[in-house]
Structure 1
Amino acid sequence: MKNLLSLKDRTILITGAGQGIGLAMSKLAIELGANVGGVDLNADGLNKAADELGSSFTPLIGSVSDQVFAQHAVAQLVERYDAIHGLVNNAGIIRPAMIEKMTSDQWQQVIDVHAAGSFYFTQAVGRHLIARAKAGEGAPGAIVNISSDSGRRGSIGQINYSAAKSAMFGMTMSAAREWAKYSIRVNAVCFGAVETQMTETIRNDERFRDQYLQQIPLSRFASPEEVSMPVLFLLSDSASYITGQILSVNGGYTIAV
């Protein structure tokens, strides 16, 4: 029987791959048979990941908020592997501040990485996937955008992050509608609190941690490894009829029809 979760002979581009969830997704994708192009601004982290993951991992050092870099990264990966079959827009930063105290730089930096960066890579990879579809090279591929519960519910002290993560919903649904005719699938995954550096304040401060855990029916935080699995599922043939959807992976923190 065919393994529908296999990513054998496919090339996946993952942004924010130098640590945390991006690194976990890279490892899992390679275990499932894929080659991975990992994008990160953190050269040390990305090179360390390359040493760990071996020849199936190609480090692509640069900022996702640089549109020219996005185009070059896609071209470099296509040159090495002939094609790209999947994209995960995962790169992210936080610049916390209350609304009345937030600077324009704090606002713009987060918007540039999450919203603009995801658009630049979606556009660059999408152009490649469309060309493959027009050339009749089979089902061209899939894109997964990483969003957050903050985009659904808002987040105190992070209006920039919440706004950027809400933007991922519109980007996902619009791209899914535009590119369905090319059999390009586009979905989003909404994470809750995952055990990464970005959530250390919530997880290590008793006041925040206990209050947050009380709202999670599964009563625990997620590991980077377990939230990676639904993302890779959406890139695989198991999700061949799923597009334009927003999947919550948050232990039940948000439950809705």
Structure 2
Amino acid sequence: MSQHREQLDGRVVIVTGAGAGIGREHALLMAREGARVVVNDLAEPADVVSEIIAAGGRAVGVAGNVSEMATGERLVEAARDAFGDLHAIVNNAGVVRDAMVWNMSEEDYDLVVDVHLKGAFSVIRAAARHWRAESKAGRQVDRAIVNTTSAAGLHGNVGQWNYAAAKAGLAAQALLAVAELGHYGVRANAISPAARTAMVTSSPGLAAAVAAPEDEDAFDKFHPRNASPLVAYLVKADCPFTGQVFSVTGGHVGLYRGFSVGHVVEADHGWSVAELAAIMEDESFPHALEIIRPNIMS
């Protein structure tokens, strides 16, 4: 394992959806940095756990669907039983079922929203109960949540009504976690990664864009491991960031500006439709504000 352990040494971290892809890279890196990792996936993530242990790290695996509330409880219990506490959660588990809105089935909509949104809720609720009790008992330490949002959730994407809605909700959950859990010592942030994962490469339109470079010595911009250092940083003790959303891909890390009011008109009375029409259709009223979207696919 890495000799550079001061960043995460002794931290206990749950990573959901960690059997492969980005979640696997998160688990491996945080273990190298000294964290004790609870590795979750639908099937038993024995390969990831074995790799961590073989390299001198500490990890346990918990199989289960995070959209089931009992799985969230089992993950927190596993962290406490194996390592004595829980310091951080990385909500990474996800699934896609793409279709245009007129073709999307109720089952596919529910599945995607359940895995992403309810899945994060199940783990956060279980952790929040533990952290709140610890804080009330005078044992408040630095805790952290990292939710995985996406460009689809932050900017929208055709054919992903379910996925985009769920990912937008994960960014909102991070803000809610700060508001509700901040006084118990809990920080929360969200990341929007772009990487070569099974979900991405299953889309013919994206598979070519994230392909590995032909030159083996070239920087592999879309390798899933590139997102993990930011996650490890966000879960370390005393990280100064909370309530923020980051984009990350390759060597790019961006801090989102979030929703903000860009133009205002005010009056000391309620508006009539005619008054608003006159003001908002005037050329001085902006009909579009500049949106800066990170060009992560170039």
TM-score, structure 1 as length reference: 0.86
Label 1:236 to 1:136 Cα distance change in 2 as closer, same or farther (>3 A).
Answer: same
Is residue 104 of structure 1 aligned with residue 106 of structure 2? yes
In 2: Cα distance, 1:221 partner to 1:155 partner: 22
- Measured against aligned partners, the alpha-carbon deviations of 1:108-159 in whole angstroms (never above 9, x if no partner) come to 0000000011011111111112222222224241111011011011111111
1:174 corresponds to which residue?
A: 176
In 1: Cα distance, 2:134 partner to 2:15 partner: 19
The secondary structure found in structure 1 opposite 2:176 is: helix
1:21 corresponds to which residue?
A: 22
- Which structure is higher in RCO with an 8 Å CA cutoff and minimum separation 6? 1
Residues 248 and 254 in structure 1, CA contact (< 8 A), matched pair in contact too = no
- Measured against aligned partners, the alpha-carbon deviations of 1:5-41 in whole angstroms (never above 9, x if no partner) come to 6111111000001000110000011011011001110
Instruction: List alignment gaps of at least 5 residues for structure 2.
Output: 211-218, 255-291
Residues 71 and 123 in structure 2, CA contact (< 8 A), matched pair in contact too = no
In 2: Cα distance, 1:174 partner to 1:119 partner: 11
Residues 42 and 65 in structure 2, CA contact (< 8 A), matched pair in contact too = yes
Task: Name which one, 1 or 2, has greater alpha-carbon Rg.
Answer: 2
In 2: Cα distance, 1:33 partner to 1:69 partner: 25
2:50 corresponds to which residue?
A: 51
- Measured against aligned partners, the alpha-carbon deviations of 1:194-220 in whole angstroms (never above 9, x if no partner) come to 011111134434xxx39xxxxxxxx98
In 2: Cα distance, 1:199 partner to 1:76 partner: 31
In 2: Cα distance, 1:220 partner to 1:4 partner: 25
The secondary structure found in structure 2 opposite 1:99 is: coil
The secondary structure found in structure 1 opposite 2:62 is: strand
Amino acid at match of 2:243: G
- CA shift, 1:225, in A, is 1.1
Label 1:5 to 1:113 Cα distance change in 2 as closer, same or farther (>3 A).
Answer: farther
- Measured against aligned partners, the alpha-carbon deviations of 1:36-70 in whole angstroms (never above 9, x if no partner) come to 00111023xx1111221216111000000100121
Instruction: List alignment gaps of at least 5 residues for structure 1.
Output: 211-218
- CA shift, 1:90, in A, is 0.4
Q: Which moved more, 1:244-253 or 1:116-125?
A: 244-253
Label 1:146 to 1:108 Cα distance change in 2 as closer, same or farther (>3 A).
Answer: same
Aligned length: 239
